Amino acid sequence: MKIKMQNKLNKEDILHILNATDNEIINYMLKTVQYRENHLITYSKNVFIPLTEICRNDCGYCNFKKKSDDPEAIILKTKQEVLESLKEAEKYGCKEALFTFGEDADKEEVVKLKLAEYGYEKMIDYIIDICQMTLDETSLLPHTNGGNFSFDDLKRLKEVNASLGLMLENTSNRLMELPAHNKSPGKNPKLRLETISNAGKLKIPYTTGILIGIGETKEEIAESLIAIRDLYDKYGHIQEVIIQNFTPIPGIEMENWPEPSFLDMIKTVIAGTLLFGDTDVSIQVPPNLNNETAQIFLLCGADDWGGVSPVSRDYVNITSPWPGINELKKLTIDAGFKLTERLCIYEKYINSEWLNDNLLKKASNLSKHQ
């Protein structure tokens, strides 16, 4: 939680931070301290459920996507499989059901066939029923992250999700020509910005963020952060911004690609913190991607660890297991902060302006027992 700043940063300000050296970095780090209202660091206890690992995109850094002929690929989980995972998560006190799936997976024949077998034509219809089942039969709140959606599909998803998410990653069209995105039409920044903008028009609490280390320039990082800030200023729906670092994994196209430096991450987190310093938007850094350095980011202004699961792995970053809750608590306390659990929807959005009656009642009840 942050208190108000006087002036919003512009692109030149952000570039100063991203290019800072020596004592400049320390001075910027110290600036982030004055914008903290408290020493609370939040996380969401979730269960990560990939409905399908089939995806139309083929990102150079991705380990999530599987080929349809891969015998180990999740083609499409059944409702019963999903419900079993949800019930197991309930036993561990999880409150968020994170549903992920490859973008436009239902354009692949193998997924179409599975959907037809389950009585569905489109993936959007299936995920909406999955989310409704979650609300009806469990205590968890759905949070869906499945790529770009049309305005109409977002409108339907809003009725059965407490929040939604989509990583902007970067606003640069140039990256569409590099290994990161040259085989991924869904990573077109225009499409991503349109989806996030439509979520704002529909008043959907939203999670987004940037991915650094995939070939972008510092100017493109600055432009991407500002694009997110502009969307927040217009709609007020961005509840958290993720600063995520590319991590090479054996077998991916970019396995020999250099990952961003620790210093790059420090300066980007500082820039994000100061850019959003006059808002209550959280800055999140995934702890499992930064096991040995995670605490430093708290000193740079990050105030959220994101979703952490006691029951499921991170299917997107399979070589980077989540820390246990007790380990996360120790990391947080050692840095001088206090760990506290949150829902997948932040407190300021738990009202009738953002949620329908059913979601509001459920989120309010869960919030009271946090």
Q: Residue ranges for the binding site for [4Fe-4S] cluster?
A: 55, 59, 62
Closest CA to 77 of 99, 116, 108, 51: 51
The residue assigned the tokens 């990952």 is 259
Q: Is 35 within 8 Å of 310 (Cβ atoms)?
A: no
In angstroms, rounded to a whole number, what is the distance separating the alpha carbons of residues 221 and 275?
A: 12
User: At residue 268, what is the residue type?
Assistant: T
Q: Is 294 within 8 Å of 331 (Cβ atoms)?
A: yes
Closest CA to 275 of 235, 231, 305, 211: 231
- Centre a 10 Å sphere on the Cβ of residue 57 and count the other Cβ atoms it contains: 18
Angle at 115 (CA atoms; ends 152, 100), nearest 5 degrees = 60
Sign of CA dihedral 56, 61, 65, 66: positive
Structure tokens of 145?
């992250």
Annotated binding site: 55, 59, 62
Q: Give start and end residues of each alpha helix (H) in 277-343.
A: 294-299, 325-334
39, 343, 359 from 369: Cα distances, Å: 21, 11, 16
Q: Which helix (H) or strand (E) holds 338?
A: strand 338-342
Angle at 50 (CA atoms; ends 46, 55), nearest 5 degrees = 140
Q: Is 243 within 8 Å of 283 (Cβ atoms)?
A: yes
Angle at 218 (CA atoms; ends 215, 220), nearest 5 degrees = 75
Pairing of strands 238-245, 206-212: parallel
